[in-house]
Structure 1
Amino acid sequence: MAQEAFEDIAETFEFLDDWEDRYRHVIELGRAMDPLEEALRVPATKVEGCASQVWLVPMIEGEGAGATFRFRGDSDAMIVRGLIAILHALYDGLPVAEVGRVDAREEFGRLGLTDHLSAQRSNGLRAMIERIRGLAAQAAR
């Protein structure tokens, strides 16, 4: 079950008929995010496997499987910032034990995004999802 914030995005996408409008909306979602401070743009937070520069910073609240997964992210590419915003809507606020149960590819498919991302962007999205899942799994221990 997707988060309410993600469902809001999905509802908006239902009203956007063509890919160009959806693409613009993804960019707007990215623009609405607060930028990540330079001090957090370090090798430890950088996501490998992305064509763009991508940073994800976990902010786990609590300990163990009951902890809440929170994160911030940023990218030097506007479309990727938008993808991070969508990932944030999908994962932020979940218990760490539930993060791995979310089928992000399926949820992105509901938005029609997986069919319209380049191979490089798809690989980058996969790398971001794997990083999020890994961070949550680590926090759940």
Structure 2
Amino acid sequence: MARPEFEEVVEDFEFLEDWEDRYRMVIEMGKAMAPMPDALKVPATKVNGCASQVWLHPQIEGDTFNFQGDSDAMIVRGLIALLHRLYDGLTLDQVRAVDAKHELGRLGLNEHLSSQRSNGLHAMIERIHHLAEA
């Protein structure tokens, strides 16, 4: 059920054999992401459970889920860009149905992220699902 944008990342990861190259790709995705306005970086949008500063701001129009996100860590910004490719533009029902653990597992992230980064990624996914349910 992954979006075409996420499937492109999966294909790119399959092409890149070296994890350093994959990390660079994730970081570059984060750098390419539009910055989140500082006015949206408030306690209500901050994601708890992340080692670095992370903010997610939902933009729900009708039944369509979009979000902006940012972090003070480049790799985490890249992880937000991955989540953007996984969730942005889906209906609220589709967001709730996404098995993010499975989809991100296709990238092999589970084995290559530190426990702190994995916990932070899980916290971001929980926040996205919570926003879609609210």
User: Shift of the alpha carbon at 1:83?
Assistant: 0.3
Query: 2:85 aligned with 1:89, yes or no?
Result: yes
User: Shift of the alpha carbon at 1:88?
Assistant: 0.3
Query: 2:42 aligned with 1:42, yes or no?
Result: yes
Tell me how far apart the structure 1 counterparts of residues 24 and 108 of structure 2 sit (CA, whole Å).
Answer: 14
Give deviations 1:58-92, integer Å, cap 9, x for gaps. 00011xxxx00000100000000000000000000
Please report the TM-score for the alignment, with normalisation by the length of structure 1.
Answer: 0.94
Please report the TM-score for the alignment, with normalisation by the length of structure 2.
Answer: 0.98
User: Shift of the alpha carbon at 1:114?
Assistant: 1.3
Counterpart amino acid of 1:28?
A: E
Alignment size in residue pairs: 134
Q: Which has the higher helix share?
A: 2
Q: Which runs of 5+ in 2 are unaligned?
A: none
User: Shift of the alpha carbon at 1:99?
Assistant: 0.8
Tell me how far apart the structure 1 counterparts of residues 25 and 36 of structure 2 sit (CA, whole Å).
Answer: 21
Counterpart amino acid of 1:86?
A: L
Q: Which residue of 2 aligns with 1:29?
A: 29
Q: Which runs of 5+ in 1 are unaligned?
A: none
Q: Which residue of 2 aligns with 1:108?
A: 104
User: Shift of the alpha carbon at 1:121?
Assistant: 0.3
Comparing 109-118 with 124-133, greater Cα deviation is found at 109-118
Tell me how far apart the structure 2 counterparts of residues 126 and 112 of structure 1 sit (CA, whole Å).
Answer: 15
- What percentage of aligned pairs have identical amino acids? 69
Tell me how far apart the structure 2 counterparts of residues 87 and 104 of structure 1 sit (CA, whole Å).
Answer: 9
